């Protein structure tokens, strides 16, 4: 599996999708989904030009950060984050994309204060309604943003969702469009700052649909590393 070639193919897919929707590839970012990948394979992808990595599990994040400490890389946490694991990763990550409940907001603030740092966050929203997916309900977003707004060390930079488990373009795009509408409404109403524009949505199988609906960041694993 040639990781460098896979990245070239991925960027071509993204560029075509951007051109079809009047967008520019330069407006997009790629987050490598590093779950179950070795530091060596991650390093190869970083060397090929992708320096943003997203990890799902704290127990995988800690050794990977240590192994790649001399590599230019930014780490985001993109999986369900248990409150009792926050202290183990708070010094290792630049952003938590999966903030979805008040208890996590409060624990992130507490642990940021303990190590005297600030943290970027995304609000994760379950736009598909699937019980298997994390994320707050769309109707819970406002209250969560209000709570985050009271925290001195947390800064909302965007929103995240996972596409519906469906082969229907209409169904999947509906969820992506809903996240865009949630972001726009939050900024318009002053619940989120104007720089909270990031939309982390789209993965290896549905990135074209996400780009069509305004994604600014895709999270990809298999498109780069191959199927696990």
Q: Binning pLDDT at 50, 70 and 90, where does residue 72 land?
A: very high
Phi, psi for 181 (deg, rounded to 5): -65, -35
Fold observed for domain 3-225? TIM Barrel (3.20.20)
pLDDT on residue 11: 98
With tokens 């990948």, the residue in question is 37
pLDDT on residue 1: 67
Q: Could you state, in order of their start, the residue ranges of all structural domains in the chain?
A: 3-225
Give the Cα separation of 24 and 16 in Å (integer): 10
Average pLDDT over residues 192-219: 98
Residue range 99-112, pLDDT digits in tens = 999 999 999 999 99
Give the Cα separation of 8 and 6 in Å (integer): 5
Residue range 187-196, pLDDT digits in tens = 999 999 999 9
Percentage of the chain exceeding pLDDT 70: 99
Give the Cα separation of 136 and 102 in Å (integer): 10
Range 162-169, long-range pairs (CB < 8 A, 24+ positions)? 162/126, 162/128, 162/133, 162/134, 162/135, 162/201, 162/203, 163/128, 163/201, 163/202, 163/203, 163/205, 163/206, 163/209, 163/210, 164/127, 164/128, 164/130, 165/128, 165/130, 165/132, 169/209
pLDDT on residue 227: 82
pLDDT surpassing 90 at residue 153? yes
Give the Cα separation of 97 and 5 in Å (integer): 28
The distance in angstroms from the start CA to the end CA of the chain is 11
Average pLDDT over residues 90-106: 99
CB atoms within 10 A of CB 45: 23
Average pLDDT over residues 53-76: 98
pLDDT surpassing 70 at residue 228? no
- Eight-class DSSP state of 221: S
Percentage of the chain exceeding pLDDT 90: 99
Give the Cα separation of 31 and 34 in Å (integer): 9
């Amino acid at each position: 599996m040639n990781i460098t070639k896979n990245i070239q193919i991925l960027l071509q897919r993204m560029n075509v999708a951007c051109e079809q929707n009047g967008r520019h590839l330069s407006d997009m970012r790629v987050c490598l989904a590093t779950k179950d990948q070795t530091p060596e394979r991650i390093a190869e992808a970083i060397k090929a030009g992708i320096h943003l990595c997203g990890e799902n599990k704290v127990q995988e994040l800690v050794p990977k950060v240590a192994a790649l400490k001399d590599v230019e890389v930014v780490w985001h946490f993109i999986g369900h984050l248990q409150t009792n694991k926050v202290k183990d990763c708070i010094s290792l990550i630049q952003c938590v994309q999966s903030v979805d409940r008040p208890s996590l907001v409060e624990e992130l603030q507490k642990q940021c204060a303990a190590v005297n740092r600030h943290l970027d966050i995304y609000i994760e929203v379950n736009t598909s309604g699937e019980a298997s997916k994390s994320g707050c309900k769309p109707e819970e977003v406002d209250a969560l943003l209000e709570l985050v707004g009271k925290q001195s060390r947390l800064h909302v930079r965007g929103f995240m969702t996972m596409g519906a488990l469906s082969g229907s373009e209409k169904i999947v795009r509906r969820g992506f469009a809903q996240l865009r509408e949630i972001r726009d409404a939050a900024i318009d109403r002053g619940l989120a700052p104007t720089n909270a524009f990031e939309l982390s949505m789209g993965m290896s199988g549905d990135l074209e649909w996400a780009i069509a609906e305004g994604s600014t960041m895709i999270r990809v694993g298999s498109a780069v590393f191959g199927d696990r």
